[in-house]
Chain A
């Protein structure tokens, strides 16, 4: 799941300062699930912007809409009329959603209300943790299902490094050492001997941007 957070209100206000009719568009997928860009946040952002517009004696009309999935052009059709009635759009989706929107409605400025952070999972307590760097060449089969490319700040393919202390990383003492986690997991899987193999350097050509996937349809 894509994790994104809302930009500061100051940044958002700056983006829309020259526009009178602004449409805020939420997304019903990842950003709703990580509690940052769903219908509730669309309403809160609209409210916040109305209050500051009122404070600054700016006349601005704010409207909010949330669609099922912003990265699907077909769903974007549903807001065509709202877009036509607006001068600018604030997208509360991930970067992909923002671009899908601006591609679909090319004549209207589309601004991101969010900073897209990473691909992550929920820890069941309302926190989201990065788990995947989308490197294009998955090695989780070699590392007991724990990704060192993402979870080791140095992205080491053979670890740990000398900076691992009491199970934590030298780069951030709150971050567990990914390689220690891998070691423990391999032990549980009774595959500890596999760690004696040296992983060869990563083929970063598979991470060529922009990525493209042709689905078999």
Chain B
């Protein structure tokens, strides 16, 4: 497998975020670097840090050992901690072409962001009076506070993106008009038109849609729907509506869902959170009729069950004679959404089923020259990260269209294989950090954010759980085939072959022992290369010389043991953090003495074996060999010490 194989987290991410990179940066306490890496591909870190569907976490190989890394929570941490950093890299515009984006949700704004960075003039048209789409109008504040979304949006606008709100396609502007003024148009209208169940009584007052309800709440209104509220549906919006009702004071809130919790798009954690707030769930139940005199009073329902049809696919059917009634002062419909494109005349040529827009491929190219489309208006309701991904693909496609470049070929990355069974027991178990939440009492009284974010200690500790998949050892052509790496690896990963030994990058734990023991210096670690490592050391030596001539002490400490903020010891430059001190080779211990340093101290773990297997023994070996060299060179070997604490 290629040494450049992609970690599964990155491969699972629709926008291929360098998760390993930013998690490693957080593990060192470097949030600025973390947010830089995140923002390279994602203009909505505050949003994704809170409401992403987290395909990365499902793919995380730490899950084979205990629990996956809490990746989204770490992204939120990086974004929360850098909220005040307003430095924006403004590039253009380089080009004269103008691009119109129709729709100010995650897809449109991402395309605007990427196109602005590519050097185009970008104008975003938004039908509502506020940008953000479902991020600001749909998801309630207790899950996604509006101010953090607006913070991400402000950064996008500060790139020079112009926003024209209260301007709806089909009403205030047409595609034809836009194409006269702009060289390309990206349509990302979203998918906000509610679907209705085929039931009688749907027109009764008191039967409302979740989108409308949540929109009202997002505008600061606080409608009280009554004692008993029933929500029909099982997606995120259904749960958002239910939990919002609780916050608005309705004491009896029930979610009615046709299928079971296992099929629920909202996911188990969200269901548990809703239950703890008092939301009731009734699974395998569907409405048949909404009943009331002049206003909704009750719902006639049926129980549902799964049956296997001829093709063995499970089908949902009503259970005979299982009808029942639920009393309701209000009903909120949240069974699905379609794009609202009915009254937009000039996109008829590219309209598909249920109001969607038809695109030729995943770049969003349509049959209309210069017109691109993406996000939910193409796919129907998807997650925010999918919308962001489609905005990114469209930006690239528009750029290539405007520059007359051939379409970009999709490259499927090689992905690291799962951990081998024999490696798993050799890796230290470490439970996932749990984020603090508001108590249920506090939650149901307000729209304050439920999840409170990681503390510094938690974030660093969580980031340190990362296995740094694929950032391990690489053997160069300087290899002399001594097979020392085969002998020293604590995880038995390298194997002898007719040529150079082979190190399976899927299994390497990046402990660095082989590199420190290689007689030809032919092994380098991607996690921290020899060059990076030596540069860090030289930086520290130079810093110590600048501070004073007398107290010239260099200190190595283990990242895995000491979680420090960047503004403390590191900034002084004389303290060097390492992803385990056992990986430091002897030359680094003695180099400071070459330049006149008087003391080198290594802060090591008390239990001598912490993050990596056998690390204590290797540290001792390296230090003892270095001491011997110091003694032979005429220095006191005690100038090099290990301090355990």
Interface residues, chain A, with chain B CB atoms under 8 Å away: 8-10, 28-29, 32-36, 38-41, 43-44, 47-52, 54-56, 66, 122, 124-126
B484 near A126: Cβ-Cβ < 8 Å: yes
A38 near B480: Cβ-Cβ < 8 Å: yes
CB distance from B212 to the nearest CB of A (A): 70
Q: Is B590 an interface residue (CB 8 A)?
A: yes
Q: In the bound complex, how far is the Cα of B231 from the Cα of A169, in angstroms?
A: 90
Q: In the bound complex, how far is the Cα of B633 from the Cα of A56, in angstroms?
A: 10
Q: Is B630 an interface residue (CB 8 A)?
A: yes
Q: Which residues of A contact B586 (CB under 8 A)?
A: 44
Name the one of A33, A36, A56, A66 contacting B481, with C-beta atoms under 8 angstroms: A33
CB distance from B143 to the nearest CB of A (A): 54
- Other A-B pairs, 14, CB within 8 Å; known A39-B521, A56-B634: A28-B480, A33-B482, A35-B482, A39-B478, A43-B587, A44-B586, A44-B629, A47-B590, A47-B591, A51-B590, A52-B634, A55-B633, A55-B634, A55-B635
Q: Which residues of A contact B328 (CB under 8 A)?
A: none
Jot down 27 A-B pairs with beta carbons below 8 A, ordered by A.
A8-B632, A9-B633, A10-B632, A28-B480, A28-B520, A32-B519, A35-B484, A38-B519, A38-B520, A38-B521, A40-B521, A40-B585, A43-B521, A44-B586, A44-B629, A48-B590, A48-B629, A48-B632, A51-B593, A51-B633, A51-B634, A52-B633, A54-B596, A55-B633, A66-B520, A124-B487, A126-B487
B520 near A39: Cβ-Cβ < 8 Å: yes
CB distance from A109 to the nearest CB of B (A): 22
Q: In the bound complex, how far is the Cα of B15 from the Cα of A166, in angstroms?
A: 70
Which residue of the partner chain B has the closest CB to A43?
B587
Q: Which residues of B contact A36 (CB under 8 A)?
A: 519
Q: Is B518 an interface residue (CB 8 A)?
A: yes
Q: In the bound complex, how far is the Cα of B630 from the Cα of A36, in angstroms?
A: 18
B632 near A9: Cβ-Cβ < 8 Å: yes
Q: In the bound complex, how far is the Cα of B629 from the Cα of A124, in angstroms?
A: 26
CB distance from B547 to the nearest CB of A (A): 20
Name the one of B519, B590, B593, B596 contacting A39, with C-beta atoms under 8 angstroms: B519
B484 near A29: Cβ-Cβ < 8 Å: no
Q: Which residues of B contact A52 (CB under 8 A)?
A: 632-634
Q: In the bound complex, how far is the Cα of B591 from the Cα of A36, in angstroms?
A: 19
Name the one of B519, B630, B633 contacting A35, with C-beta atoms under 8 angstroms: B519
A32 near B520: Cβ-Cβ < 8 Å: yes
Q: Which residues of A contact B593 (CB under 8 A)?
A: 51
Q: In the bound complex, how far is the Cα of B478 from the Cα of A10, in angstroms?
A: 30
Most buried by B among A28, A33, A47, A54: A47
Q: In the bound complex, how far is the Cα of B519 from the Cα of A55, in angstroms?
A: 27
The number of chain B residues with a CB under 8 A from chain A is: 25
A40 near B590: Cβ-Cβ < 8 Å: no
CB distance from B478 to the nearest CB of A (A): 7
CB distance from B564 to the nearest CB of A (A): 29
A40 near B520: Cβ-Cβ < 8 Å: yes
Q: Is B594 an interface residue (CB 8 A)?
A: yes
Q: Which residues of A contact B632 (CB under 8 A)?
A: 8-10, 48, 52
A40 near B635: Cβ-Cβ < 8 Å: no
Q: Which residues of B contact A48 (CB under 8 A)?
A: 590, 629, 632-633
CB distance from A117 to the nearest CB of B (A): 17
A29 near B480: Cβ-Cβ < 8 Å: yes
Which residue of the partner chain A has the closest CB to B480?
A32
CB distance from A51 to the nearest CB of B (A): 4
Q: Which residues of B contact A124 (CB under 8 A)?
A: 487
Q: Which 4 A-B pairs have the closest CB atoms?
A: A38-B519, A9-B632, A51-B633, A32-B480
Q: Which residues of B contact A9 (CB under 8 A)?
A: 629, 632-633
Q: Which residues of B contact A50 (CB under 8 A)?
A: 594
Name the one of A10, A29, A38, A47 contacting B594, with C-beta atoms under 8 angstroms: A47
CB distance from B639 to the nearest CB of A (A): 10
Q: Which residues of B contact A54 (CB under 8 A)?
A: 594, 596
CB distance from B518 to the nearest CB of A (A): 7
Please, what's the 1-or-0 string for B506-550, where 1 marks a CB less than 8 Å from any CB in chain A? 000000000000111100000000000000000000000000000
Which B residues between 581 and 597 are near A, CB-CB below 8 angstroms? 585-587, 590-591, 593-594, 596
Q: A32-B480, A35-B484 are in contact. Are A40 and B629 (CB under 8 A)?
A: no
Which residue of the partner chain A has the closest CB to B481?
A33
CB distance from B324 to the nearest CB of A (A): 75
Q: In the bound complex, how far is the Cα of B520 from the Cα of A35, in angstroms?
A: 8
Q: In the bound complex, how far is the Cα of B622 from the Cα of A123, in angstroms?
A: 22
Q: In the bound complex, how far is the Cα of B519 from the Cα of A33, in angstroms?
A: 7
Q: In the bound complex, how far is the Cα of B519 from the Cα of A9, in angstroms?
A: 19
Most buried by B among A39, A55, A122: A39
Which B residues between 200 and 235 are near A, CB-CB below 8 angstroms? none
Q: Which residues of A contact B594 (CB under 8 A)?
A: 47, 50-51, 54
Which B residues between 571 and 605 are near A, CB-CB below 8 angstroms? 585-587, 590-591, 593-594, 596
Q: In the bound complex, how far is the Cα of B630 from the Cα of A9, in angstroms?
A: 10
Please, what's the 1-or-0 string for B68-106, where 1 marks a CB less than 8 Å from any CB in chain A? 000000000000000000000000000000000000000
Q: In the bound complex, how far is the Cα of B144 from the Cα of A193, in angstroms?
A: 88
Q: Which residues of A contact B520 (CB under 8 A)?
A: 28, 32, 38-40, 66
Q: In the bound complex, how far is the Cα of B633 from the Cα of A49, in angstroms?
A: 7
Q: In the bound complex, how far is the Cα of B586 from the Cα of A35, in angstroms?
A: 14
B484 near A40: Cβ-Cβ < 8 Å: no
Q: In the bound complex, how far is the Cα of B634 from the Cα of A35, in angstroms?
A: 24
CB distance from A92 to the nearest CB of B (A): 11
CB distance from A26 to the nearest CB of B (A): 9
Q: Which residues of B contact A35 (CB under 8 A)?
A: 482, 484, 519
Q: Which residues of A contact B478 (CB under 8 A)?
A: 28, 39
Q: Which residues of A contact B591 (CB under 8 A)?
A: 47
Q: In the bound complex, how far is the Cα of B484 from the Cα of A50, in angstroms?
A: 28
Q: In the bound complex, how far is the Cα of B583 from the Cα of A70, in angstroms?
A: 30
Q: In the bound complex, how far is the Cα of B635 from the Cα of A56, in angstroms?
A: 11
Q: In the bound complex, how far is the Cα of B634 from the Cα of A189, in angstroms?
A: 55
Which residue of the partner chain B has the closest CB to A9?
B632
A51 near B630: Cβ-Cβ < 8 Å: yes
A41 near B519: Cβ-Cβ < 8 Å: yes
Name the one of A28, A44, A55 contacting B590, with C-beta atoms under 8 angstroms: A44
Q: In the bound complex, how far is the Cα of B594 from the Cα of A34, in angstroms?
A: 26
Q: Which residues of B contact A41 (CB under 8 A)?
A: 519
Q: A50-B594, A55-B634 are in contact. Are A125 and B481 (CB under 8 A)?
A: no
Please, what's the 1-or-0 string for B480-491, where 1 marks a CB less than 8 Å from any CB in chain A? 111110010000
CB distance from B496 to the nearest CB of A (A): 10
Which residue of the partner chain A has the closest CB to B518?
A40
Q: Which residues of A contact B481 (CB under 8 A)?
A: 33
Q: In the bound complex, how far is the Cα of B606 from the Cα of A104, in angstroms?
A: 54
CB distance from B14 to the nearest CB of A (A): 44
Which residue of the partner chain B has the closest CB to A39?
B521
Which residue of the partner chain A has the closest CB to B484?
A35
Which residue of the partner chain B has the closest CB to A49?
B633
CB distance from A118 to the nearest CB of B (A): 17
Q: In the bound complex, how far is the Cα of B520 from the Cα of A41, in angstroms?
A: 8
